[in-house]
Chain A
Amino acid sequence: MEKEERSLKTVFRTVTRKLAPDYVNCKSCGRRAVRKVWQENMNICPFCGRYQAMSADQRLSLIFDPGSRQDFNSDAGVRDPLNFPGYSEKAKKLEKKTGLKESAVTAFGRINGIKVVAVVLDTRFFMGSMSSRVGEKVTRAVETADREKLPLIIFAASGGARMQEGIHSLMQMAKTSSAVQEFSENGGLYISCLTHPTTGGVTASFATLGDITLAEPGALIGFAGPRVIEQTIGVKLPKGFQRAEYLHKHGFVDRIVKRQELKEVLYDILKLHEDSRGAFTEDILKGGSR
């Protein structure tokens, strides 16, 4: 009898949940809004203004001209070099849930007509952590931008290294940094946009090597996690520590950019570099100064 009652309750709950409009609860103020309103507001809470994570798809539609997106290396899925218990299974589950094969999405696209290569890390997949495949995809995106003489834009969002891949994950820091260095030596423009949260091995590699570094309001950006720091030094952390505004003040971020302005700011930066690409670089090469 009791069992039946409970199962009836479960059925009732499931049905009502399905019939009710799809709500999203804000993770900071707790208030809820209909998902559609939420998404139209670019995942910014309509009540408190706090930025919530964007999926890779949302991010790319925010900055790319409609119809200009063209993904590459999209079928590279998770590797399991250490045969880590439960890792492959979890990856499969996440793939089913998010439709992503890895936490990095790489694509060509146009920003008000200017063609670029973009990389977005999606936190729904293992917290956007850097696996060997993510490192490979980022590296290939950098190489593609280099080869095709296109500007590179990377949206970082990551918990850091992918623990389940051990040393293989760590080495991606060197691989991606080396690729960015070569791209930079060849005169490539790299705009790094730090979004919530950018930490660990991603902060300590390609994310902080941009020519221009942008950040989203309120994003947590740092190498060590706040909890680790608090435990290590036993001191309460200052207000706003490791937030985008804090880094801006300490000179590691050029500008904090609201989502509403993101595309235009990117376009302005791209425009400022447009001429240096062809004429200036070519001149240096012809002059043989290197």
Chain B
Amino acid sequence: MIRESLMEVGRINMRMEELRSKGRAEDDQEMLDLSMEKARMLRPCVNLTAEDKVFLARKIERPHIDDFIKALFTDFFEQRGDHLYDDDPAIYGGIARFHGIPVSVVGHRKGHTAEENVAYNFGMAKPEGYRKALRIMDQAEKFGRPIITFIDTPGAFPGIDAEEHGQGEAIARNMARMSSYHVPVISIVTGEGSSGGALALGVCNRLLMLEYAVYSVLSPEGFASILWKDSSRHAEACEIMKLTADDIREAHVADEVIPEPLGGGQENPRRLYGSMDMAIEKNLSALMAMSPGELLRDRRRKFRGMQ
């Protein structure tokens, strides 16, 4: 388990940040020692188990949709609410430019602090959230803008009001409508993509996954508790579920895996954004060369072929 070494890396990062802010020449030797120590601590991250990747995918320091929108897009205009009932803070999105091209961007929202996570409900959306995403995406279809979705959720929110407002219908409707768009749709699983709550933003032409992201039918805990009535068999579930980015690509569900810095995106966010930018740019230009009809058929064919 890489948990301990990553905690140590976190401490080193903090100390390095502190020294850097002071900017004193006499600290140079300590800085050098620290960076060597950090490299040593990150060494186990070369070979990660599925459980390690689940841990990384959920890490609170991991870059989230707010960071991606700031780093990869310009002129972001946030759109709020489903304009039917409510605004769900677990979904975040709007209109922006990617390399100058107007696009619609939407995804699950997670925070970097406990307070933020509570405010965003840990990225667990209610029907209002899925309908907000649908509103954003329907407008993209109307105005011919490409759609880019970021997937990062433990699942749809299981609650009384969520059920009363049609959680199942909201997810189903999103998938059905996404399958009928004539604009490019690119989805990127950036953290944990669990259950229908993830797929509700994932009916795309191209599915990309960050190297340490995971995608699965249910959280490993839920999986273990349903199949074995024992949620503590988490590690075993992680292995058996074949949920890592490489597994998902081998299953012909993901099209591409975006490499991450050693130890995860949070260790070198700028490098991660660089890789993401390249991957989105490449796939988007390929898709934008296709006609509206081709884009629709391409997406339908992709999901029709899911065995």
Contact A166 B196, beta carbon cutoff 8 Å = no
Q: A170-B217, A175-B306 are in contact. Are A223 and B159 (CB under 8 A)?
A: no
Contact A233 B159, beta carbon cutoff 8 Å = yes
Give the distance in Å from the alpha carbon of A167 to the alpha carbon of B214 in the complex: 10
CB distance from B36 to the nearest CB of A (A): 40
CB distance from A30 to the nearest CB of B (A): 25
Within 8 A of A (CB), among B144-187: 156, 158-160, 162-169, 171-173, 175-177, 179-180
Give the distance in Å from the alpha carbon of A62 to the alpha carbon of B202 in the complex: 38
Partner of A235, one of B160, B177, B304: B160
Of A45-53, A66-74, A202-210, A271-279, the one contacting chain B is A202-210
Q: A163-B227, A204-B196 are in contact. Are A181 and B176 (CB under 8 A)?
A: yes
Give the distance in Å from the alpha carbon of A225 to the alpha carbon of B163 in the complex: 10
Q: A170-B199, A178-B303 are in contact. Are A222 and B242 (CB under 8 A)?
A: no
A252 contacts the other chain (Cβ, under 8 Å)? yes
Contact A208 B199, beta carbon cutoff 8 Å = no
Contact B223 A224, beta carbon cutoff 8 Å = no
Contact A168 B243, beta carbon cutoff 8 Å = no
B101 contacts the other chain (Cβ, under 8 Å)? no
Give the chain B neighbours of A135 by CB distance below 8 A: 306
A136 contacts the other chain (Cβ, under 8 Å)? yes
Chain A interface residue count: which class? 35 or more
Which residues of A come within 8 Å of B, CB atoms? 79, 81-82, 84-85, 132, 135-136, 139, 161, 163-175, 177-182, 184-185, 200-201, 203-209, 222-225, 228-229, 232-233, 235, 237-238, 241-242, 250, 252
Which residues of B come within 8 Å of A, CB atoms? 156, 158-160, 162-169, 171-173, 175-177, 179-180, 195-196, 199-200, 202-203, 215-218, 222-223, 226-227, 240-243, 247-248, 251, 253, 299-300, 303-304, 306-307
Closest 4 CB pairs of A and B: A224-B158, A203-B168, A178-B179, A171-B306
27 of the cross-chain contacts (CB-CB < 8 Å) are A79-B307, A81-B251, A82-B240, A132-B306, A136-B307, A166-B216, A166-B242, A167-B243, A171-B253, A171-B303, A174-B175, A175-B303, A178-B203, A180-B176, A182-B180, A185-B180, A201-B195, A201-B217, A203-B172, A205-B172, A222-B167, A223-B167, A224-B156, A224-B159, A228-B158, A229-B158, A250-B164
